[in-house]
Amino acid sequence: MKNPPLTPDLPGSFQPPEDSGSAGVPLVLDLDHTLLKTDTLHEQALVFLKQSPLNIFKLVAWLTKGRAALKQKLGRAVDLDAQYLPLNSDIVALGQSASNAGRKVCIATAADNTIAQKVADNLAFPVDVIGSDGIINLKGKTKANRLKELFPDGFDYAGDSSADLPVWKVARNAIVVNASSSTLRKAKKTATVTDVLPRSPTLKPLVKAMRPHQWLKNSLIFIPAILSGQIFIPGIWPGLIMTFFAMGLVASATYIINDTWDVADDRKHWSKRKRPLASGNLSIVSGFIGAAAALAAGFGLAVAVSPSVALVLGVYLVLTLAYSLRLKQLVFHDALVLTSLFTLRLGIGTVASESQPSPWLFVFSMFFFLSLALAKRHTEIARVLNKGETKINGRGYRTEDLPLVLAAGMSAGMAAVVIMVLYISSDAFRLSFKGQVEWLWGFPPLIFIIVSRLWSVCLRNELDDDPIVFSVKDRQCQIAVAMLGVCFIMAWFGLPSL
């Protein structure tokens, strides 16, 4: 018995053409970027590389034997979980409608038979499969000739690329899915195009994958300049602004790389499955191109500021990639790395502004952001526990780690409060606060309120995936941050304390 499809989430709106002569005419569907919103070869290669980056040498060796051999080797080496691959809801609806009308539905794909069969097994209607077999790469004219032999009385074909032009040419009707404008023009010249599903935009999902809302975190680069008093020097602003955008672009590139690396795990996550790459709204290739462009632009801006800024940004990139590839799977190591990435933003700001902030700033940052990172992990573990599972996909945590994560997270938050007290007591007087350091004593209780608020919401299972985003939207945190700003301004400008 076939399993019900887990994706797409919504029923398709596409309807087959009104044609009384369609009864008995097979409907043939291409797989990659037609029935699926992704490319199975790219998905398999990614999983294979995730097993070991050295597997890239095997991929090259297999490719020298031909694409059919490569696909078969990958099919045998990788157990791709087809149940979670993103389906094109419109094409699923088309196939379901054809099946209900008594028509044979067939998948004909250049992908290997094994992965195509896995996809077919997860559809709610019967589907035959024709695919590459390790010797023949079922693509272009080869696919067209094979379908003519199997269906001499004609067939309708849904495909997406220029490689499908020979198939459309011999098909009764052509259904063009997610194709480029040039492919669509050629299809209309060589085939009877009955329906067109326009190409989905790439720019919008790419921007979403870059997570521009996360650029708020990059505001940390301004903190060293503020605390050192150099923020009031007009000449320092161009470098800081360029550094801000350089940091944002590189961070966005790492988000895309991380989402690509974790795409299989994200599809099983309650919220991450909606991300552009996991949902199939952004292809793996487009994601890599976008990430490469963002990296080039980011480091170009960093070098324009200073080689030192580019160097620290390079350290950030290396640490982020290490996190994505391996460290995120290690218990507590992942939280420490995330904390270090926040603190590196302060380091980049220090280099860009050529300031000398107190070392207490970096110590406080490590403990404060460690508490936030562990709050995020606590939320993930709690939700897995509520689902009756024991392990988080792609992470090293288990549900029995929940009390330990809670204890460590709260302890880190309280340590941040203590460090702020020590800073005010021993070091704040050396900075340019006009002698009114007393106003800074508002910081410890306000920081305590922020940390306690985040953890109380976390324990109630009301915290979103990102504590930073929550704190920006939460009214209590907004008030506490505003009061922090008031205390700092009062201390800075030397206004009399009560």
Q: Are residues 44 and 140 in the same domain?
A: yes
Structure token digits, residue 262:
């974790």
121 found inside a domain: yes
Instruction: Report pLDDT for 9.
Output: 44
Contacts of 451 (CB under 8 A, 6+ apart): 368, 371, 410, 413, 414, 416, 417
| 249 located within any domain | yes
- Predicted local distance difference test score (pLDDT) of residue 18: 47
Of the residues 181, 199, 217, which one is the last residue of a structural domain?
Answer: 199
Phi, psi of 16 (to 5 degrees): -70, 155
| pLDDT on residue 494 | 67
CATH code assigned at 382 = 1.10.600
Terminal alpha carbon distance of the chain:
76
Same domain (yes/no): 279, 390: yes
**In Å, what is the CA distance from 449 to each residue of 414, 427, 479, 483?**
10, 23, 10, 11
Q: What DSSP string describes 369-398?
A: HHHHHHHHHHHHHHHHHHTT--B-TTSS-B
Tokens of 237: 């602003």
Q: Which H or E run contains 164?
A: none
119 and 211 in a single domain? The answer is no
Say if CB 84 and CB 6 are below 8 A apart: yes
Cα dihedral 421/424/427/430 (nearest 10) = 180
Please check whether residue 497 lies inside any domain of the structure: no
Q: What does the alpha-carbon distance between residue 339 and residue 344 come to, in Å, rounded to a whole number?
A: 9
Q: Are residues 137 and 161 in the same domain?
A: yes
Distance CA 114, CA 92 (A): 20
> Is 87 strand, coil or helix?
strand
Q: Do 107 and 208 have their domain in common?
A: no
Domain end (from 199, 218, 236): 199
Output the pLDDT for position 357.
73
Domain check: are 82 and 32 in the same one? yes
The Cα–Cα gap between 304 and 434 comes to 35
- Shared domain for 112 and 157, answered yes or no, is yes
* Separation of CA 426 from chain center: 43
Token representation of residue 403: 């009390």
Q: What is the CATH number of the domain that holds 170?
A: 3.40.50.1000
Judge if 77 and 63 occupy the same domain. yes
Q: List the alpha helices (DSSP H) in 152-274.
A: 165-170, 181-190, 203-209, 223-228, 237-261, 263-266
The answer on 186 and 252 residing in a single domain is no
CA distance 187 to 192: 8
Please indicate, yes or no, if residue 374 is contained in any of the structural domains: yes
Give the number of domains in the chain.
2
Of 168, 199, 230, at which residue does a domain stop? 199
Structural element, H or E, at residue 32: none
Assess contact for 39 and 163: CB atoms under 8 A.
Answer: no
Question: Does residue 30 lie within any of the structural domains?
Answer: yes
Q: At 174, which helix (H) or strand (E)? A: strand 173-177
| Torsion (CA) 196, 188, 128, 12 in degrees, nearest 10 | 0
Q: Give the CA angle between residues 68, 74, 78 to the nearest 5°.
A: 155
Cβ–Cβ < 8 Å for 46, 284? yes
- Domain coverage including residue 255: 204-492
| Predicted confidence pLDDT, tens digits, the chain (498 residues) | 344 444 444 444 455 554 545 667 999 999 999 999 999 999 999 989 888 888 999 999 998 888 888 888 888 888 888 889 999 999 999 999 999 999 999 999 998 888 999 999 999 999 999 998 888 889 999 999 999 999 999 999 999 999 999 999 999 999 999 999 999 999 999 999 999 998 888 899 999 999 998 898 899 999 888 877 777 788 889 999 999 999 999 999 999 999 998 888 888 877 788 899 999 999 999 999 999 999 999 999 999 999 999 999 999 999 999 988 888 888 888 899 999 999 999 999 999 988 877 788 899 999 999 999 999 888 888 888 887 776 776 677 888 888 999 999 999 999 999 999 988 887 766 655 555 778 888 999 999 999 999 999 988 888 876 788 788 888 999 999 999 988 888 887 765 545
Q: Domain for residue 498, yes or no?
A: no
Q: Which residues pair with 129 in a beta bridge?
A: 107
pLDDT at 186: 93
Question: Is 1 within the bounds of a domain?
Answer: no
Strands of 193-197's sheet in order across: 128-132, 105-112, 27-29, 156-159, 173-177, 193-197
Q: Are residues 98 and 126 in the same domain?
A: yes
Shared domain check, 132 and 168: yes
Residues 348 and 365 reside in one and the same domain: yes
Distance (Å, whole) CA 326 – CA 262 = 11
Peptide bond into 8 cis (omega under 30): yes
Question: Residue 157: inside a domain, yes or no?
Answer: yes
Query: Which residues are within 8 A (CB) of 153 and not within 5 positions of it... i.e. 6 or more apart?
Result: 24, 25
